[in-house]
Amino acid sequence: MRRRRRFLMTLAALFGSVTGAAAQGVTGPTLAEARAALAAAEETATGLGVGLSCAVVDARGTLVALARMDNARYFTADVAAGKARASAAFGAPSGNLARLAELRLDSVVDGGKMLFVQGAVPIAKDGQTVGAIGCSGASAQQDEDAANAGVAAIQ
């Protein structure tokens, strides 16, 4: 019970930091930034010899841009967006949020549109989470590596 209370307090702190970006007027990734992030993620995927879908969302989880490589499976686009929504909502890499899946917060917060699995990382501006990029189609680590390359391209 004590661990659960501590976890819920941490969760409350995370929610507070997410809303701070919007409240301070920090804007999410622009379309130009999203395109640059997607291009860098695709270049990384090509170098790894894998086909990915990658999605860039703003802090609310609204899609800014999505790209699916020719050799990526059709469902990877939805998975990439779900990972990105989770990362943006909680301001953390999606792979760090597995504990939240046990609490079923994905269905409460965003109607089942979040995925708490590795492959997405937040995008920050001025110390505030303003969005995220998520990738899907390869191993979890390769997905995250491509997402990290996307963030690095716009920071």
Backbone angles phi, psi at 154, to 5 degrees: -115, 5
Can you give the pLDDT of all 155 residues of the chain as single tens digits? 555 555 544 444 444 444 444 445 668 899 999 999 999 999 999 999 999 999 999 999 999 999 999 999 999 999 999 999 999 999 999 999 988 877 776 666 766 688 999 999 999 999 999 999 999 999 999 999 999 999 999 98
Containing structural domain, residue 29:
2-154
What CATH number did the domain enclosing 22 receive?
A: 3.30.450.150
3-class SS of residue 135: strand
User: What angle do the packed helices 31-48 and 140-154 form, to 10 degrees?
Assistant: 140
Instruction: Report the domain count for the chain.
Output: 1
Distance separating alpha carbons of residues 143 and 80, to the nearest angstrom: 9
